[in-house]
Chains A and B, each alone.
Chain A
């Protein structure tokens, strides 16, 4: 069985199937986080004036800034690994992908430090609505990182044999997970100010 346009582009839409598929998935992700952002706004309005800002003071801004940088770096290395494949440089691809994964690990480790610091101060999701939404948003974002890492890892090591058998499809796959990875970065770009700074 051959499904058309799995690798090559359909002339009139200019897309291969997975490209459209992943964008639809990202569209649904936008709405998923949209629901949570909407909840954030609603709860912020419902809280006493200034309370959200005040409750947020407990968060560690330097760590989060560092984490933002880490995630941005991982986004660059991600897109570089794709570009390396385009340049037929498989070694560089593996290098950049490795760095991306490393960044993801560092990000999660710092998140872990932040969480435990909160728990040590007896701050939990049930403490108030700010922390409720804080833990939910960052937790869900963290799950997205973990899911992304699993796929990246697969393509980095066990799945990279495809580069020899079907380089074009492999490059497409890297592009697809790349899109997802950048999206996760993009979500963080918004989470950072609304949770840590405002």
Chain B
């Protein structure tokens, strides 16, 4: 991204980085706090994963500049995340499917 920024641009970026840092800190506290709520297993997992995903998106979007990244990279990552979910879901679903047989 060599020439696309001048220094006032970068100074704006730095401000954003500090906001993101604040948000990440707050969300970390929230995750821990949420684990003390009286939630069912499923709800707790869902909540924790949602918070983690928000945090992850902040890191990826701002620190890793994905939000303004080139199309090629975004495509590769979408492909990767697609297969990532396949890898998460199918073994899990096949476990459930098998358990259903008893």
**CB within 8 Å of A: which B31-51 residues:** 31-32, 34-35, 41, 44-45, 48-49, 51
Q: Determine whether the beta carbon of B10 is less than 8 Å from that of A35.
A: no
Does A34 sit at the interface, judged by CB under 8 A?
A: yes
Residue tally, chain B, CB below 8 Å to A: 50
- B9 CB, nearest partner CB in chain A, Å: 9
CA A15 to CA B14, docked complex, whole Å: 23
Does A86 sit at the interface, judged by CB under 8 A?
A: yes
- B59 CB, nearest partner CB in chain A, Å: 5
CA A83 to CA B29, docked complex, whole Å: 27
**CB within 8 Å of B: which A175-198 residues:** 175, 178-179, 182-183, 185-186, 189-190, 192-194, 197-198
The B interface, classified by DSSP as helix, strand, loop or mixed, is helix
Does A24 sit at the interface, judged by CB under 8 A?
A: yes
Q: Determine whether the beta carbon of B45 is less than 8 Å from that of A30.
A: no
Interface locus among A41-49, A115-123, A145-153: A41-49
B92 partner, pick from A24, A42, A68, beta carbons under 8 A: A42
Question: Chain A residues with Cβ under 8 A from B77's Cβ?
Answer: 23, 27
Question: Chain B residues with Cβ under 8 A from A72's Cβ?
Answer: 21, 24-25, 28
Question: Chain A residues with Cβ under 8 A from B48's Cβ?
Answer: 193-194, 197-198
Q: Determine whether the beta carbon of A79 is less than 8 Å from that of B63.
A: yes
Question: Chain A residues with Cβ under 8 A from B73's Cβ?
Answer: 15, 19-20, 23
CA A68 to CA B28, docked complex, whole Å: 8
A31 partner, pick from B20, B44, B87, beta carbons under 8 A: B87
Residue tally, chain A, CB below 8 Å to B: 54
Does B102 sit at the interface, judged by CB under 8 A?
A: no
Does A14 sit at the interface, judged by CB under 8 A?
A: yes
Q: Determine whether the beta carbon of B56 is less than 8 Å from that of A186.
A: yes
Does B76 sit at the interface, judged by CB under 8 A?
A: yes
CA A185 to CA B88, docked complex, whole Å: 21
Q: Determine whether the beta carbon of B52 is less than 8 Å from that of A189.
A: yes
Chain A residues in the interface with B (C-beta under 8 A):
7-9, 13-15, 19-20, 23-24, 27, 30-31, 34-35, 37-38, 41-42, 45-46, 50, 53, 61, 65, 68-69, 72-73, 75-76, 78-80, 83, 86-87, 168, 171-172, 175, 178-179, 182-183, 185-186, 189-190, 192-194, 197-198
**A and B contact pairs by CB, cutoff 8 A, 14 listed:** A8-B2, A9-B1, A24-B76, A27-B79, A27-B80, A38-B87, A41-B88, A45-B92, A65-B32, A72-B28, A79-B63, A87-B10, A190-B52, A193-B51
Chain B residues in the interface with A (C-beta under 8 A):
1-2, 5, 7, 10-11, 13-14, 17-18, 20-21, 24-25, 28-29, 31-32, 34-35, 41, 44-45, 48-49, 51-52, 55-56, 59-60, 63-64, 70, 72-73, 76-77, 79-81, 83-84, 87-88, 91-92, 95-96, 99
